[in-house]
Each structure stands twice: as structure tokens, then as C-alpha cells.
Amino acid sequence: MVLKVDRRARLVALAAGCIVLVVLVAGAIASGASSNERPLRLHLATHVSSGIAKAFPVLRSARASDAAEASQLAVVANAISSIQSAGLKNGHDPTGGANPAFARRIGGSDNSALYLVPGNGTLCHVSIREGRFAGGGCGEASLLEQQGSVGYGIVPGGYEVHGILPAGSGGVQITDANGKTSNVPVTSAGGFVYEAATPPVRLVFNTPAAGEQVRPIELTPPAPTGVSAPQSQG
């Protein structure tokens, strides 16, 4: 499976099952780890920095203790390990030591969940769908604190757009291929998830530091059952 990645960023994005995920993360990924080092032994973050916590206050909150979230947190930990392992093949840790112990759920729906995981100067987001790792990416925290991070993909039954936005952000609007524009609510934790049967083509949102952000969305519709649809690189 080929993933299209925004040229403005270097990131690791992984997809599981039949989900195709594109992650748009501003900025470069933290690097510097040796390819000989083993995953999850790379200077895990020991605290949440004040800058990250200010932009994403949910990281200061107590973690929920329900059984569903406990199960999802295990998926988050495995996802961070997978992203890290993929990066180490190229000689760097793209997660910047993201520590799943600090992960917080910031949005979701009945079938999905979106988690924010801080590292040493980095922020990662992990998307879970139907109890499985759907995709994720990591970026430089100083830029995500200003511009946020969004991802979109083809999922069973349609399309999904999700994002993490810094405190004070809003104005999320998504326009689909039919020209219909929907206002998408942002949770108090800064997350949003949009699901629809019609492909989305344009995303607009506002952040306090960067102002209005306009992102085109390019997705290849899913092929009929039993037919492989070609995926082009972006």
C-alpha cells in the first residue's frame, strides 16, 4: 500500500488493514537516533514540556480509567513502537521518544479514537479504528503547537478526516466532492473527527498562531470489491 504524504513534512505514516491514511504534519521529524538502537529504548520522554502542555492542555489532565480506553492505550503503545521501528530502519527515531504513558484521547466516534502522544520536542497522533491501529504520524512540537496536524483516509464505508488542534482553534469546515460544506465540532481537548460517504476535497480551520489554514484533500475512491485501485504518490 502506498501512502501519499504532504511534501511540507517528513513523517512516518502507517496504515493497517484496508484503511488508507494520509497524515499532514507541519515541520520535520526529530532525528538523531542510531539505526542500531532498539525501539522503545530511545530516551523516552519523562515529562510533558510546558510549551506542549500549554498548547494541548488535555495532556495535563488525568487519564480515563474505563476498560475501553485501557484497551485502546495498548494499541497506542504498539502503534508508537511500529512508527519508531519503521523510522529506525532509516537511522532515526521519528517519534522523538514519544511516551505512550502520557497519551491522551482527544477525539473519536463510535468506531474510532484519536490519541495525542508527546515526546521530546515532538508530538505524535495515533488513529484507532475498530480497535486497530489505523495510522499515525509525528512532527516537531513547536510547529504543531502553532499549526496543528490533520490526517485523512479511506475507511470501510467511506472517508475520514481527523485532526489535533492547539488550544483556541476552531472554525473547522470540510467541503465534499458534491460541494457541500460541513462545520465540524472540535472537542475541548482539541481533536476532531469527520466521517462521510462522499469524498472530502477541502479542509479549512483556524489556529491562534497561524490563522486560517486551507488544506486540499486528494483521495482515490476505493475500488469495487476484488479490484485493486492504483495509488499515486503525492
Average pLDDT over residues 116-130: 93
**Containing H/E element for 72?**
helix 67-88
pLDDT band of residue 97 (cuts 50, 70, 90) is: very high
Q: How far, in Å, CA of 44 to CA of 47, rounded?
A: 9
Short-list 163, 43, 146, CA closest to 98: 43
Largest pairwise CA distance in the chain: 50
Q: Sheet harboring 158-164: ordered strands across?
A: 20-25, 149-155, 158-164, 191-196
pLDDT band of residue 6 (cuts 50, 70, 90) is: very low
What the block records as the C-alpha cell of 83 is 512508527
Mean pLDDT over all residues of the chain?
79
Query: Do residues 136 and 14 make contact, with C-beta atoms less than 8 angstroms apart?
Result: yes
Instruction: Look at 90 and 207; give whichever has higher pLDDT.
Output: 207
Q: Is the pLDDT of residue 4 over 70?
A: no
Q: Phi and psi for 83 in degrees, rounded to 5?
A: -60, -45
pTM of the model: 0.76
